[in-house]
Amino acid sequence: MSGPATGPLRAGDRKTSAITVDNLTKRFGGFVAVDRLTFDVREGEIFGFLGSNGAGKSTTIRMLCGLLAPTSGAATVGGIDVGRDPEGVKRRIGYMSQRFSLYERLTVDQNITFFGGIYGLARDRLAARRRFVIGMAGLNGREHTRAADLAGGWRQRLALGCAILHEPPIVFLDEPTGGVDPVSRREFWNLIDGLSESGVTVLVTTHYLDEAEHCHRVAIIHAGRLAAIGTTAELKRMFADRAIVEVHAASPIDAMRLLDEMPEIEKTSVFGTAVHAVLKHGTGGIAPAIKTRLERAGVPVASIAAVEPSLEDVFLEVAETPDRARVSAAGKP
Amino acid sequence: MIRKTMAVARKEFRQIVRDTRTLTILLVVPVFFLLLYGYALNFDIRHVRLAIDDRDHTVESRSLTAAFVNSGYFDLVASISDAGAARLMDRNDVRAILVIPSGLGRAMRTHRSAAVQVLLNGDNANTATTVMGYALAIIRNESARYATLPTLPTGAPSALSPLLTVEPRIWYNPQLRSTLFLVPGLIAFITMITAVVSTALSIVREKERGTMEQVRMAPIGTASFVVGKTIPYFVVSFASAFGIIVAAMLMFDMPMRGSWIVLLVTMSLFLVGALGLGLLISSAVETQQVGFQLAILISFLPTFILSGFIFPISSMPRVLQIVTYAIPARYFLTALRAIVLKGARIEAFWVELAALTLFAAAVLTLSAVRLRRQWRSA
């Protein structure tokens, strides 16, 4: 079922698309949840799907999984048209959501047996897959522990294992790392990298922007529309002609107000305890001017430094001004 | 298809077994209910406290007293004179008083009629009516003895002797014990509630916990899912229903005049229908709480009132009679009474069996269809 074993691959090694989305639209009454979405996901790629809550990520995933019929537009998953053959799609995909829904009263082993069963796995194959999943999730020796008694990270890995028992070539992960500690998150991403290396295509939604760095490519979706798509490096290039200055000041709110009044500064946003100011031009030499202005207004400044744009800067940029930011590797595989 | 169905069934069975509380409820509570209702719901009246005011003191008056006591319905608690009667009745020390006038013995011996008086406490009209029926029957019996005694020299029947006497024979339940009528109804009633409630939570629980989301991502049809859910609950509710029947036979002397196989087949059809109804409820609701309430609402009252459990369907208004056709317990009850009380063969109630089959098929199909619609949207 999985792609031919051609050894580790990197994004872009493949020419074929695992998922194609063409003007996909979903309306709920008068509300347009997903608006003419178009993009491709390559085989073996880890494709990140970013967006704030309600941006349309889950709706898109549901359509791609064959759970929800599109209002218009089309999509194929593993070569199957999702509108025409949703059941065919289900056989080719694995799906795991943030709730990593396991049967809590059942043991690890019994959960695997059940999910293997409903995917119609024969006994021999199930036995082999069981060994694989137990090993992958690091659950050796815990086969008879009830799912409810497993720590978050284990449950999450078991849920992933149950979702890929039938060796689907494409896996959808809907905010899979919600509510899991950082160490487990990292281990989880290692598993995803492993899947990708074995040729499995992974489409993952997340709102942890740091996780997007694990993705070969990401799409940012905002208000149902594709706001940006590309590798993280490509996305950051939208700041190529503009510098970003990070200011640590005593009062970020006052600092923002003062900075917004400076003609050289395009916009500001809060980053934790710091303020990021996007300059209209690429000159980082504005630091002394900023320092003078803030301190004269009675706001002490701890540090001012030019920084590389982070994905969060990109995210805020496209969320606030979706039209100017179509970077684009969109559409061309 | 079968493999997927069995995967669901095995999983569900493991969940039930792990859930000892639910399992206890399913297996023990029904028998407990049978005891509770079986003893409380009893239309027979026994041990009526009786006082006798015998002003005759003859062989005949003692014979009449003995007839009352030996009937089993009355307990003789006092022999009194006229003055005490009202007081005893007021204090509820006795609920019936038999007043035998002096001269009764002589009247009997000479074939003249005489009147005895029976005083009853009428604060519960139903009870009083029933007790009066017992008293009249006893007196009529006694009276008949004297009337037919060939005491006249001619040997001709006396003018008092009734030429025609009714000899009632009650079939299936010669002593007219109301438990024999009630227990099959109780079996249907309790089984229905247990079965409906047990499955009413099983699908909605998966919706609440989110496991449904995972299951519907798998290439499994809703029919497999619904059937897989039914199987383990069927096993458990079958054991439970069997327990009730055995308990009814041991504790309420319910007879078993028909075939066990026919009984178990009928019961199975009924159970599948009830479990299916629970699944249908479960597929329609979004929270376990609503599921539970709906299950009780749908199974409890209709089964109690409209199945013929207590109130005969034939004496209901026409509209209600039509409604009863939708109550599966109605068919089960008819068949159950026919099997255990009459020892009837399957030809006598195949219509009921067909109706039960139809009901089971309908609710299971509807649940699968409903669920499919949900899996396809949202």
pLDDT tens profile B190-235: 999 989 988 999 999 999 988 988 898 888 889 999 999 999 999 9
Distance CA B336, CA B258 (A): 10
Confidence of residue A23 (pLDDT cuts 50, 70, 90): very high
Q: How far apart are the first and last CA of chain B?
A: 25
Confidence of residue B174 (pLDDT cuts 50, 70, 90): low
Q: Quick check: A87 and B219 CB within 8 A?
A: yes
Strands A265-271 and A72-77 turn out to be: unpaired
In angstroms, what separates the C-alpha of A7 from chain B's closest C-alpha? 29
In angstroms, what separates the C-alpha of B219 from chain A's closest C-alpha? 6
Kindly report, residue by residue over A72-111, the tens digit of the pLDDT. Answer: 999 999 999 998 888 889 889 999 987 768 898 899 999 9
Distance CA A108, CA A161 (A): 10
Kindly report, residue by residue over A28-40, the tens digit of the pLDDT. Answer: 988 889 999 999 9
Q: E strand or H helix at A306, and its extent?
A: strand A301-307
Closest partner residue to B6 among A117, A119, A163, by Cβ? Answer: A117
Task: Note the pLDDT of residue A177.
Answer: 82
Interface check for A174 against chain B (CB to CB < 8 A): the answer is no
Which residues in chain A have Cβ-Cβ distances shorter than 8 Å to B214? 95-97, 101-102, 115, 159, 162-163
- Choose the weakest-confidence range: B38-52, B161-175, B361-375: B161-175
3-state secondary structure of A274: strand
Which residues in chain A have Cβ-Cβ distances shorter than 8 Å to B203? none
DSSP state letters, B251-296:
HH-----S-HHHHHHHHHHHHHHHHHHHHHHHHH-SSHHHHHHHHH
Q: For A193-205, what is the mean pLDDT?
A: 93
Distance CA A80, CA A305 (A): 50
Which residues in chain A have Cβ-Cβ distances shorter than 8 Å to B378? 67-68
Confidence of residue A246 (pLDDT cuts 50, 70, 90): confident
Tokens of B209: 């916990």
Distance CA B10, CA B276 (A): 18
Kindly report, residue by residue over A174-185, the tens digit of the pLDDT. Answer: 888 877 888 888
Distance CA A301, CA A295 (A): 7
Does residue B152 carry a pLDDT above 70? no
Does residue B346 carry a pLDDT above 70? yes
Enumerate the β-bridge partners of residue A247.
A275, A304
Does residue A123 carry a pLDDT above 50? yes
In angstroms, what separates the C-alpha of A163 from chain B's closest C-alpha? 8
In angstroms, what separates the C-alpha of B297 from chain A's closest C-alpha? 29
Closest A-chain CA to B213: A101
Does residue A51 carry a pLDDT above 70? yes
Does residue B329 carry a pLDDT above 80? yes
Q: Are the C-beta atoms of A283 and A245 separated by less than 8 Å? A: no
Kindly report the backbone phi and psi dihedral angles of residue A168, in degrees, each rounded to the nearest multiple of 5, phi listed first.
-75, 145
The whole-chain average pLDDT of chain A stands at 84
Q: Are the C-beta atoms of B55 and B102 separated by less than 8 Å? A: yes
Task: Note the pLDDT of residue B162.
Answer: 44
Task: Note the pLDDT of residue B5.
Answer: 93
Distance CA B235, CA A88 (A): 34
Q: E strand or H helix at A200, and its extent?
A: none
Task: Note the pLDDT of residue B228.
Answer: 94
Angle A315-A47-A65 (CA atoms, 0-180°, nearest 5)? 110
Task: Note the pLDDT of residue B43.
Answer: 67
Nearest to B118 by CA among B164, B184, B51, B69: B51
Distance CA B169, CA A324 (A): 97
Tokens of A99: 């709730």
Closest partner residue to B219 among A102, A116, A119, by Cβ? Answer: A119
DSSP state letter for B93:
S
Q: What separation in angstroms does the CA of B232 have from each of B202, B207, B272?
A: 11, 19, 11
Distance CA B169, CA A6 (A): 90
Nearest to B97 by CA among B137, B135, B59: B135
Confidence of residue B92 (pLDDT cuts 50, 70, 90): confident
3-state secondary structure of A78: coil
Q: Are the C-beta atoms of B375 and A86 separated by less than 8 Å? A: no
Interface check for B3 against chain A (CB to CB < 8 A): the answer is yes
Distance CA B373, CA A138 (A): 38
pTM over 0.80: no
Does residue B165 carry a pLDDT above 80? no
Q: What separation in angstroms does the CA of A52 have from each of A173, A235, A316, B138, B305?
A: 16, 17, 10, 88, 55
Q: Are the C-beta atoms of A207 and A52 separated by less than 8 Å? A: yes
Q: For B70-74, what is the mean pLDDT?
A: 86
Q: For B37-54, what is the mean pLDDT?
A: 80
Residues in CB range of B327: below 8 A, 6 or more apart: B302, B303, B306, B307
Kindly report the backbone phi and psi dihedral angles of residue A289, in degrees, each rounded to the nearest multiple of 5, phi listed first.
-60, -40
Distance CA A306, CA A240 (A): 13
Kindly report the backbone phi and psi dihedral angles of residue A236, in degrees, each rounded to the nearest multiple of 5, phi listed first.
-70, -20
Q: How far apart are the first and last CA of chain A?
A: 23
Distance CA B176, CA B171 (A): 9
Strands A31-42 and A17-28 turn out to be: antiparallel
Confidence of residue B42 (pLDDT cuts 50, 70, 90): low
Q: For B82-96, what is the mean pLDDT?
A: 78
Tokens of A177: 């790392």
Task: Note the pLDDT of residue A180.
Answer: 82
Does residue B159 carry a pLDDT above 70? no
The whole-chain average pLDDT of chain B stands at 85
Confidence of residue B138 (pLDDT cuts 50, 70, 90): confident
Does residue B294 carry a pLDDT above 90? yes
Distance CA B89, CA A152 (A): 74
Task: Note the pLDDT of residue A232.
Answer: 85
Tokens of A172: 């959808």
Enumerate the β-bridge partners of residue B185.
none
Q: Are the C-beta atoms of A76 and A111 separated by less than 8 Å? A: no
Does residue B96 carry a pLDDT above 60? yes
Interface check for B209 against chain A (CB to CB < 8 A): the answer is yes
Rg (CA), chain B: 29
| Cα dihedral value A175, A178, A180, A182, nearest 10 | 70
Does residue A115 carry a pLDDT above 90? yes
Handedness of CA A14, A18, A20, A25 (dihedral sign): negative
Distance CA A131, CA A137 (A): 10
Confidence of residue A252 (pLDDT cuts 50, 70, 90): confident
Does residue A118 carry a pLDDT above 70? yes
Does residue B314 carry a pLDDT above 80? yes
Interface check for A117 against chain B (CB to CB < 8 A): the answer is yes
Q: For A142-151, what is the mean pLDDT?
A: 92
Nearest to B370 by CA among B281, B291, B255, B265: B281
Tokens of A19: 């998922």
Place of tokens 């406490």: B121
DSSP state letter for B51:
E
DSSP state letters, A212-229:
GGGSSEEEEEETTEEEEE
Q: Quick check: B211 and A118 CB within 8 A?
A: no
Strands A225-230 and A217-222 turn out to be: antiparallel
Q: What separation in angstroms does the CA of A238 have from each of A322, B178, B224?
A: 12, 88, 52
Place of tokens 């003692």: B62
Task: Note the pLDDT of residue A282.
Answer: 66
